[in-house]
Amino acid sequence: MAIDLHTNNTGTALNKSVVTFDAPLNLACGVVLSEYELVFETYGSLNSERTNSILICHALSGDHHAAGLDANGKIGWWDHYIGPGKAIDTNHFFVVCPNNIGSCFGSSGPSTTNLETGKPWGVDFPSLEVSDWVASQKQLMEHLEIDCWSAVIGGSLGGMQAMHWAVAHPQKLKHAVVIAASLRLSAQNIAFNEIARRAIESDINFKQGNFLDYQTSPTQGLALARMIGHMTYLSNDALGQKFGRLVRSGDLDGAEKELVEFEVSSYLNYQGDKFATRFDANSYILITKMLDYFDLTQDHQNNAVDAFKQAQCKFLVVAFSSDWRFSPSCSEEITDALVSADKDVSYLRIESNQGHDAFLLPNEHYEKGLGQYLQRVTQTLIGAQS
């Protein structure tokens, strides 16, 4: 296991590790992954009873770098909420964040080498479901000799993993924090994912997914896919406030309107291009399909109450008022099912104009609610020790 330790100016010390599992992982699709690697970061320290750990589940495009600054000086995607004195307080908790399989930031996925062929997996990487991510996280948990998570926390696709943990491994977590998530995708959600996939597949450099063999990448298609996705993460209000009709170059009052570039266009193109350089096209297709397939209720006759009856943990459910990707009504469906299943649950509907992305951004009510919920978890930890 390789470890490098950094302490940085966000105040969060991070350990980055890579672990290779040679115990076979039986995937939902029927394929057995005989060996795979997980890259993960940890923050804070595990107590002697090994009871203070929190698992962070990342979303579609996330990675293992959730907090602090990495070796390249890049800040973690959830740094605002993870660190000493922050809502997920690393003075009290040992926080674990893996990059999940099928993704493209070091853990086994389409862009890593298939040991059987000696070539990158590419399109041959097996199809994945949320249960596979949870199964691999459970192997990581066993590797870290943790018997039970204090909490499993995630936003969006991360929230779906937290719910799956609660239902599939009820003894293995005390709390599930489900943020801006849904029991399943709507037709509109699936439609947006399909448009994104078609954008990638239509790129001439996609080469039926074998682009790595040609040492190329469908960056145009991937950028377009991201631009579509990105728009669904933001609200009309937030975009209006940030950009309105501001122009970056050209003059709307002038004769040559074709020279005009709107600020919002420039922003979106930049976001798309930036994403295309860091993300793998096959991973994007794989993980958007994983989102489409997810349905917490599928093994429970489509009944969310029956599904949640399996759970033993307590829940915090959080939604954001302007999120139209997974709107508050999705979180309210989760909450209502939990109440009907007689599970302990609190639900916060945070006022925000930031859309789906709000779960990553600073917000006082959200920060306080999450922080106070986890402080309560800390108190029960201290109570259990004394």
* Shortest distance (Å) from residue 366 CB to other proteins: 10
How far are the Cα atoms of 73, 91, 119, 149, 335 from residue 49, in angstroms, in the given order? 33, 16, 43, 12, 32
Which of the 8 DSSP states describes residue 104?
S
Query: Which CB, 119 or 368, lies closer to other proteins?
Result: 368
Among 109, 218, 355, 369, indicate the residue that binds other proteins (CB under 8 A).
369
b or e along 123-151 (b: 16 or more beta carbons within 10 Å of the residue's beta carbon)?
bebbebbbbbbbbbbbbbbebbebeebbb
Q: Measured between alpha carbons, how far is residue 303 from residues 99, 143, 184, 309 in Å?
A: 31, 34, 12, 10
- Residue 74 is a binding residue for other proteins (CB under 8 A): no
Shortest distance in whole angstroms from residue 367 CB to other proteins: 10
Residues involved in catalysis? 156, 323, 356
Residues in 272-331 at the binding interface with other proteins, rule: CB under 8 A: 316
Choosing from 236, 277, 303, 375, the residue that interacts with other proteins (CB under 8 A) is 375
Q: How far is the CB of 347 from other proteins (least distance, A)?
A: 4
357: its two tokens = 């992305």
339 binds other proteins (CB under 8 A): yes
Indicate which single residue of 348, 358, 360, 381 sits in contact with other proteins (rule: CB under 8 A).
348
Our CA dihedral for 339, 343, 346, 348, rounded to 10 degrees, sits at: -60
Q: For 4, how many CA atoms within 13 A lie in the half-sphere containing its CB?
A: 7
Nearer to other proteins, 186 or 379 (CB): 379
* Residue 335 binds other proteins (CB under 8 A): yes
Distance between CA atoms of residues 35 and 22, nearest Å: 5
Looking up tokens 């995708």 gives: 185
* Total of chain residues touching other proteins, rule CB under 8 A: 21
Cα-only R_g, the chain = 21
Closest among 316, 205, 217, 209 to 275, alpha carbons compared: 217
Among 336, 353, 361, 378, the residue binding other proteins under the rule CB under 8 A is 336
Is there binding between residue 221 and other proteins (CB under 8 A)?
no
* Minimum distance from residue 179 beta carbon to other proteins (Å): 14
37 is a site residue for other proteins (CB under 8 A): no
Q: Interface with other proteins includes 143 (CB under 8 A)?
A: no
Distances from the Cα of 164 to the Cαs of 167, 173, 182, 303, 336, in angstroms?
5, 11, 11, 14, 17
Confirm or reject binding of residue 207 to other proteins (CB under 8 A): no
Q: Cβ closer to other proteins: 119 or 365?
A: 365
Q: By CB under 8 A, name the binding residues for other proteins.
A: 316, 332, 335-336, 339-340, 342, 344-349, 351, 365, 368-369, 372-373, 375-376
